[in-house]
């Protein structure tokens, strides 16, 4: 009895602490900063901050996912079990809020962290997945999945896959195939569903199997007027044009007016406005073609190219 008590006391004795510390210090370690640099995701995240205006909650979620995958990579590097996390996602928001753009960025990030084999996005809608007659849907859906495997499958307006009002609709067959592949190949394919928030919520209530496979829900807010003006500047630079100072002020006025009108589509509406401004600029220069046109004129969108929009006359 006394011997047993003595043995137990020895296990708790202070002199065992140095030995414990020694064993702990011999445990493997990993340099997270080195893994971060090797993956190249630092440059990707910096590019996202620099090139994507606004979207703070979206960027925050992307950084959280990046941190999760980096830690999982560190665990694998020292032999710890690292079950691949499910990264199927749902992007909700109004048109033109950057969902497709962020999906492309996400593919690059996941590829850099070794989660998917290819920096590759396949963008589809219902028509690419659902057939028109019996036996047509399965091969269409499987062909899309084959093209997307190893990368990201982006399904825009995903709620249109399910049409309960039509008893002869084949969308449910496509959903069932997607569910199986999302479960069996989650380490080789990321599926991103996208659409309006309220419609996606109805879709998930009608398809609990799909809801259970979506690990991340990311809501894309509408842009503010100042953010849309910054987007207009970036788009103009990307097209190798520039807005004259008066044109930039006119674009600010245009944005405020356009935001109050129906069918406003955030950045998409800004791109459409700039395309029409380029058309007006081209016609203005063509009408003045009697003399040589300076390079600066070819580069510059003038105030009149913006203010001729119907937004100012309606």
Q: What is the pLDDT of residue 254?
A: 96
- Domain membership of residue 16 (yes or no) is no
What pLDDT digit, counting tens, does each position of 20-65 carry? 444 445 667 877 778 788 877 888 888 888 888 999 999 999 999 8
Q: Phi/psi at 155 (nearest 5 deg)?
A: -110, 105
Q: What is the pLDDT of residue 201?
A: 93
- The residue among 220, 245, 273 that closes a domain is 220
- The residue among 203, 220, 237 that closes a domain is 220
- The residue among 220, 249, 275 that closes a domain is 220
- Domain membership of residue 50 (yes or no) is no
- Domain membership of residue 47 (yes or no) is no
Q: Which residue has the higher pLDDT, 18 or 179?
A: 179
Reported confidence tier of residue 2, pLDDT bands at 50, 70, 90: very low
**213 and 168 in one domain?**
yes
**175 and 240 in one domain?**
no
Residues 6+ apart with CB under 8 A from 213: 86, 88, 179, 182, 183
- Domain membership of residue 199 (yes or no) is yes
Give the start-end residues of each E strand in the chain. 89-93, 121-124, 152-155, 190-195, 216-220, 242-243, 300-301
- Please report, for the domain that includes residue 237, its CATH number: 1.10.8.60
Q: Quick one: tokens of 66?
A: 């990046």
pTM, two decimal places: 0.81
The boundaries of the domain holding residue 175 are 85-220
**231 and 141 in one domain?**
no
Q: Quick one: tokens of 265?
A: 């589509």
Q: What's the structural domain count of the chain?
A: 2
**257 and 176 in one domain?**
no
Helix, strand, or coil (residue 308): coil
- Domain membership of residue 168 (yes or no) is yes
What pLDDT digit, counting tens, does each position of 232-290 carry? 999 999 999 999 999 999 999 999 999 999 999 999 999 999 999 999 999 999 887 77
- Domain membership of residue 110 (yes or no) is yes
Give CA torsion, residues 252, 237, 292, 278, to 10 deg.
Answer: -50
Q: Quick one: tokens of 272?
A: 């459409």
């Amino acid at each position: 009895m006394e011997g047993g008590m003595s043995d137990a006391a020895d296990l708790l004795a202070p002199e065992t602490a140095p030995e414990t510390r020694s064993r702990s210090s011999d445990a493997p370690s990993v340099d997270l900063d080195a893994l971060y640099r090797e993956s190249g995701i630092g440059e990707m995240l910096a590019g996202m901050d620099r090139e994507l205006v606004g979207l703070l909650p979206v960027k925050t979620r992307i950084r959280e996912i990046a941190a999760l995958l980096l830690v999982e990579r560190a665990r694998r590097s020292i032999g710890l079990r690292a079950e691949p996390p499910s990264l199927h996602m749902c992007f909700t928001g109004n048109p033109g809020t950057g969902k497709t753009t962020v999906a492309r960025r996400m593919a690059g990030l996941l590829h850099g962290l070794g989660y998917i084999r290819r920096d590759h996005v396949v963008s589809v809608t219902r028509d690419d997945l659902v057939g028109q007659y019996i036996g047509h849907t399965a091969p269409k859906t499987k062909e899309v999945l084959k093209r997307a495997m190893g990368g990201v499958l982006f399904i825009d307006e995903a709620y249109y896959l399910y049409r309960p009002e039509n008893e002869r609709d084949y969308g449910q067959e496509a959903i069932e195939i997607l569910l199986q592949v999302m479960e069996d190949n989650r380490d080789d394919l990321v599926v991103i569903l996208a659409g309006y928030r309220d419609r996606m919520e109805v879709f998930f209530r009608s398809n609990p199997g799909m809801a259970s496979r979506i690990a991340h829900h990311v809501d894309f807010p509408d842009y503010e007027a100042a953010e849309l003006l910054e987007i207009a500047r970036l788009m103009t630079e990307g097209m190798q044009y520039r807005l004259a100072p008066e044109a930039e002020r006119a674009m600010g006025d245009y944005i405020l007016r356009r935001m109050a009108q129906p069918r406003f589509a955030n950045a998409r509406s800004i791109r459409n406005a700039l395309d029409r401004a380029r058309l007006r600029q081209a016609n203005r220069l063509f009408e003045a073609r009697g003399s040589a046109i300076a390079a600066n004129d070819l580069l510059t969108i003038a105030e009149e190219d913006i203010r001729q929009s119907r937004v100012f006359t309606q």
